[in-house]
Structure 1
């Protein structure tokens, strides 16, 4: 229960506070390299495109992502043509001033001129939509670039011209010519031995093939394998993400498996924006009623949002939480989440939050607030009318459902018609779960109006369209409606099997529900027996309705009696089996919860222990500094600030990575050294050579090491290079031996100092270094002369964090 409650409170509190992008987001993105920024733009852009069912074209999604993350709009497309010398030209395009770039083309020479023309082609090719004038401009610039490349016989640039031409063919509707272009490029590059560009070509080929083309998946897998072999991690993440998208439209089980593989790959990278992966996996878990798994994935997505300072998916997170509670039958909480999801309607594009507005139409009628819903929705639709066919269709479907709940069949029929027209026109593989629920609703309307044959037709369509993508709740409703139809038409044999299916699915749904309820039993839910009694009453109501319709004929009454006896036996056995499963599940969960509580208590002690020690270290350092203050107080404050920065940077590295008990020196020391270099005016003129191994140190050793580096660098910067005639050089190394010892070396070629000078030997800086070396079970050796000063420390790496360390 602790984990679920913690997650619920975390989501509720954090989501109410992440409305504004923070400086943390800017810092996160600034730490990304170019490949990671490109991945961010294409990955989140593709996510928006898929979840909004193509209501925005892909280029619109990518440009929106570039805008919110402050990325250049050319970045997602120009990897193979941008060699880094077009910064001003790309800035013009980012400001939508292509004419400024065009004016500079005549003055450019050779490869830069070709690159400028192709950047212009990409700019027009990826403008939102496919306006004929934009495509003509793109074709013109491709033609000019290719002619110039041919005149210079530059094979690389001829390939790039053909690749962009392949994109142009597809936008013009010539998929065959586009595929031929990319196949030719991939073959040519493979023969030339350019493995990276060849992998990109196979990836491009796959993305420019139709979804139903059998070779789309094989080319994606080929590109992924090549990226993996070349250790191009961000490229591999992008390719695997496209593989997930492929399976998402056809096989949800495989899609979920691939999402797990994608998360493993993303966690191995320093790329942190993978909350979209957790979101998609939560969507799949939600639809198969794995609500605990959905909650945990949402927890992970929110953690990433908090760590990166990125609230872009806020409205969609609200949508997923509302969907979870809809599946659990907690309609009031679901409704609350959906209303949270429309809070940002004044500042966000409508396409990001509008589904929450649509889902309110599912929750409120189930709260017996259909009339209130109709009043609210009319006001909201007046301010925010649907912007596309899909939203218009979905709103009509929600209105139809409200009228169906109110038993206003004529009004419901009127609003169902746009939905039915939509369903008939689009391929079944593009239908989403809400569409399938809509077919079920219309089947129920037909049943209530007495048109049993038509009800059966639409129920059959719902079953066919949901094949392979059906949620447990959807299947449960299908079975219940099937039983009702068969009973009404006197098909008792079929009705019996439909009821058996209903009981089986209800068993699964109830078990899932009970798992969630067990977590929150003392907070929200009544006893298990009450829920079972309600379920039995529902079943009895269905049986009574069936018996009333069977009373006209003796044969039907006898058959109904037999069915009734079988049902009673099945219910009794079902209750017994459910009780046994619940008892076993409760025992297992209690054991797991006990273990979780122990782990949480231990972690809390460790957090207090670390914070106490770190704060004590800072206080002690400042007290020591006070003993040496003279007139030069400002310099002393600077030294203290550097020491505090070394400590705060350590804490930063701790919360940035999943391992909170150790710090990687390869991530920590270069950033600390760069800060110290910038803190002194002389630092810019000094050559610093670093050799830092991939060394993981426990916090108790990492902090003294950081302070040792701080003191050594501070002394070097202040005293070693007073002689301006020599070229300053500092050598830094942190290397690990095979016997688990670490060797620290800090050397300079400065003026050195007299080893017999007691003022130097007993100064605060060197005294502190020696004391800190003892703290890490090491020994500091200092050598100084005319050729400079060398500090050498050797110590053994301590064992990992354990509860014994708290004693």
Structure 2
């Protein structure tokens, strides 16, 4: 009982924790207005798209975000189309049932019909991937919407049609036509005086311009300024986020500054899902070796995730924490964080957690676990092969580094080759930090192989591509390798300066590491201590009141727990008593039923015994009467005698054996046949061959079968062997086949019906045989000729007391 209660309480605690987290997650989303929900979908979707370097297309990222946050898939795109009167229509699209919306369009009119057509166009336009049929459907519905709007002179809706068409042109690969279309839309709306819609159009125009186009930034800033003027907080946050993305590819210092502004706006707006902003800023701080600042930002991201119940980017946070420790040379802690991220594989798409699997290719070899890493990674790759080219190339570099650590240069060269082929066809401006790391590792391989000129070439590539965004650890590795190459080539003057740089960066790394370790232990404590000091100075009375309140709550909880345990105990004891009482009652009923069954069986045996005795009395009376009768009457009495004996013998078998509802033919028929053989004078001169299976027949079938045997055997004895010219032979068989049918056969080698000259085929005996065969649901066949007579009956065995019999 105690174990049950303990398990119940433990399960309740666990479920309450999960429920609380789920409730926080749901409550946070439900608290948002429509604009905040739209910002959530587009902002986190853009974050996934950028972080994963476009391995998912933008629409796939946004669709995934809508799924995890339970948002309608149309919400990120239909702000200017859906004014709230298309709830059912967008619900159909969210259920991926566009045909339902299509069927309802003929019944709509005016602006709503145009809006419904454009919702369909957006549905197909923003389906994941770039399926030509989806783009064809998009173009079809835009054309229909535009024609209908034109017929009604709905100018505003013609502009919306053009805006959706601008999106379509970009996905069709015509970036120029796309930007021109949005420029026309923005120009018209500016002249029309609709500031909000114009700002949205300018924002859309910026996003449809190339990243290196200066107009992209200027249009984003124009849209941002207008949003702020109109106090459109969520729109302004989205625009500022796109400005950060612009600077991210060109100027990290400006990007970091803008991220600070973005955090302030997000906190003031009531929007709570800004863990991605902290994550991106942590990335920038990590790359400039500000590991303390990186840790603070990651800690803030984790706090937000806890407060919102949202763990959607947790595996990415694990990657960032791992990179911090990698930069500090704390490879064991980095490894632990990477494995935490890998554990998310059961609940996250592979593209989100896979970087952790790639990064352990850095940490494990540095822990002198290259062989262990190779064994582990082979198993993981069998279950989780890379999904895209970038992951495949990155994984190849990690394997190359592991073999490099083991000094297996040929194997390392093999795995570096796909990376070298990849970077050759990628424009330099699109190379990422992982690519720079690949150059660095390949330079190490060339140095170990003694190819110093080639090592210098790839080391120079590291310097060139890391310019503007180097980390202290990358500088340390570059200077160390530069020193080794210069020393090997005898360039001692250059080697001296490389060694000086190495010492400088190593000292910097050591100092950073020491400061990080000291502040890592104190950073949360200092923040909490400061808050506690403020509380002590300003609210000491409230603290005491809170303690009293907590004590009262604890008392109430304990009291409630005790009462709950008492109630559960009382209920359990009451159930136990009821169970024991029911078991006793059931036992008594079973004993009564067993006694009744036994009494019924003995009663039925006694009935059969008495019926048998009565029938024997009748047989004896008939025998006495036969002494005073002539030949014909005597024959009739003998026939009746045999019939009654057949019935009497059946009842005898029923009470002699345990089963009082069925008779075994193997016990019954031989005795009946022996009696009939002795009843006729010719019986002793006749050979009888019997083949009788172990067949159990219900009383309802055994009685007719006994009478059939009696009649058939009697007819055979009386008529078959009158000529006395042949040795009589009777064959009797009762066999049961696999289909549960019984085949009865009585055959003789007598003279047959025709030879007797008497029409016995219509006599009482044969009529009785046919009637009894029908009673047992069987069929009787009689064949007679000069070689004798055969009676064949086939019927299906009934189960004792079957349903059919009872009905």
Q: The TM-score by the shorter chain falls in which range?
A: 0.5 to 0.7
Indicate the residue corresponding to 1:86 in structure 2: 86
1:117-128 mapped onto 2 (5 Å cutoff)? 117-128=117-128
Distance 1:457 1:18 in 2: 55
Q: What CA deviation, in whole Å up to 9, does each residue of 1:271-312 have, x standing for no partner?
A: 100000001111111111111111111111111111111111
2:463: which partner in 1?
A: 463
Deviations 1:444-492 (A, max 9, x none): 1101111111111111111111111222211221111112212221222
* Equivalent position of 1:195 in the other structure: 195
Determine the C-alpha separation between the residues in 1 that align with 2:227 and 2:104.
36
For the Cα contact (< 8 Å) 2:292–2:520, is it kept in 1? Answer: no
Q: Structure 1, residues 200-222: CA drift from partner, whole Å, max 9, x if none? A: 01100011111121211111111
Give me the whole-angstrom Cα distance separating, in 2, the residues matched to 1:137 and 1:438. Answer: 43
TM superposition shift of 1:601: 5.1
Contact 1:149–1:157 at 8 Å: present in 2 too? yes
Is contact 1:443–1:455 with CA below 8 Å preserved after alignment?
yes
CA distance in 1, matches of 2:459, 2:26: 50
Find the residue that maps to 1:210 and give its secondary structure.
coil
Q: Deviations 1:402-450 (Å, cap 9, x if unpaired)?
A: 0000000000000001111111122223322222111000011101111
The yes-or-no answer on 1:95 pairing with 2:30 is no
* TM-fit CA distance, 1:620: 14
* Deviation, structure 1 residue 88: 0.5
| Corresponding residue pairs, total | 539
Residue 327 of structure 1, CA deviation: 1.1
The answer for the alignment partner of 2:48 in structure 1 is 48
Q: Residues 21 and 311 of structure 1 are in contact (CA less than 8 Å); yes or no, is this contact kept in structure 2?
A: no
Q: Determine whether 1:494 maps to 2:426.
A: no
The residue number in structure 1 matching 2:754 is none
Equivalent in the alignment of 2:532: 600
Deviation at 1:617, TM superposition (A): 9.7
Q: Kindly tell me: are residues 264 and 303 of structure 1, through their superposed partners in 2, closer, same or farther at Cα, counting changes over 3 Å?
A: same
Q: Which has the larger radius of gyration?
A: 2
User: 2:780 corresponds to which residue?
Assistant: none
- Write the distance in 1 (CA, Å) between the matches of 2:339 and 2:135: 42
- Using the TM superposition, give the Cα deviation of residue 44 of structure 1 relative to its aligned residue in structure 2, in angstroms: 0.3
Q: In the aligned structure 2, how far is the partner of 1:18 from the partner of 1:459?
A: 51
Residue of structure 2 equivalent to 1:67? 67
1:108, CA displacement in angstroms? 0.4
Q: 1:419/1:257 Cα in 2 relative to 1: closer, same or farther (>3 Å)?
A: same
Q: Which residue pairs with 2:547 in the alignment?
A: 612
- Aligned-partner Cα distance in 2 for 1:175–1:197: 22
User: CA distance change for structure 1 residues 240 and 268 in 2, over 3 Å: closer, same or farther?
Assistant: same
Residues 619-676 of structure 1, C-alpha deviations (whole Å, 9 max, x = no match): 999xxxxxxxxxxxxxxxxxxxxxxxxxxxxxxxxxxxxxxxxxxxxxxxxxxxxxxx
d(CA) in 1 for partners of 2:517, 2:268: 35
Describe the SS at the equivalent of 1:181.
helix
Counterpart contact for 1:20–1:311, Cα < 8 Å: no
Distance (whole Å) between structure 1 residues aligned to residue 226 and residue 509 of structure 2: 43
Which has the larger displacement, 506-515 or 373-382? Answer: 506-515
Kindly report which structure 2 residues correspond to 1:265-344, keeping only aligned pairs within 5 A, or say none. Answer: 265-344=265-344
Residue range with higher mean Cα deviation, 489-498 or 161-170: 489-498
- Tell me what 1:711 maps to: none
Query: Corresponding residue for 1:421?
Result: 421
The reply on whether 1:451 has 2:383 as its aligned counterpart is no
Counterpart mapping for 1:634-645 below 5 A = none
Displacement of 1:188 in angstroms is 1.0
| Aligned counterparts, 1:716-735, within 5 A | none
* 8 Å CA contact retained: 2:292, 2:519: no
Q: CA deviation at 1:608?
A: 4.0
Superposed displacement of residue 503, structure 1: 2.8
Q: Confirm whether residue 479 of structure 1 aligns to residue 479 of structure 2.
A: yes
> TM-score of the superposition, structure 1-length normalised?
0.64
* 1:592-631 C-alpha deviation (Å, 9 max, x unpaired): 987974643554786844633656999999xxxxxxxxxx
Aligned residues of 1:19 and 1:311 also touching (Cα < 8 A): no
> 2: CA distance between counterparts of 1:370 and 1:326?
16
Partner Cα distance (1:350, 1:19) in 2: 26
Cα shift at 1:254: 1.1
2: CA distance between counterparts of 1:404 and 1:330? 20
- Contact 2:162–2:181 at 8 Å: present in 1 too? yes
Question: Which range is displaced more, 246-255 or 158-167?
Answer: 246-255
- The CA distance in 2 between the partners of 1:70 and 1:400, in whole Å, is 42
User: Using the alignment, how far apart are the partners of 1:58 and 1:336 within structure 2?
Assistant: 31
Q: Deviations over 1:234-275 (max 9, x none)?
A: 000000101111111121111111100100111111110000
Determine the structure 2 residue equivalent to 1:642: none
- Looking at structure 2, the residues matched to 246 and 19 of structure 1 have their Cα atoms a distance apart, in angstroms, of 40
Distance in 2 (CA, whole Å) between partners of 1:216 and 1:594 is 43
Looking at structure 1, the residues matched to 550 and 367 of structure 2 have their Cα atoms a distance apart, in angstroms, of 53
Q: Distance in 2 between matches of 1:270 and 1:80?
A: 23
Shift of 1:520: 6.2
Cα deviations by residue, 1:534-557 (Å, 9 ceiling, x for unpaired): xxxxxxxxxxxxxxxxxxxxxxxx
Aligned counterparts of 1:185 and 1:506: Cα–Cα separation in 2: 56
| CA 1:517–1:19: 2 relative to 1, 3 Å | farther
CA drift at 1:495 = 1.9
Quote how far apart the aligned CAs of 1:124 are: 0.4
CA distance in 2, matches of 1:313, 1:479: 35
Tell me the distance in 1 between the aligned counterparts of 2:174 and 2:298. Answer: 41
1:233 aligns with 2:168: no
Report the TM-score when normalising by structure 2: 0.64
Give the structure 2 partner of residue 206 of structure 1. 206
SS at match of 1:268: helix
CA distance in 1, matches of 2:44, 2:454: 42
Q: In structure 2, what is the equivalent of residue 168 of structure 1?
A: 168
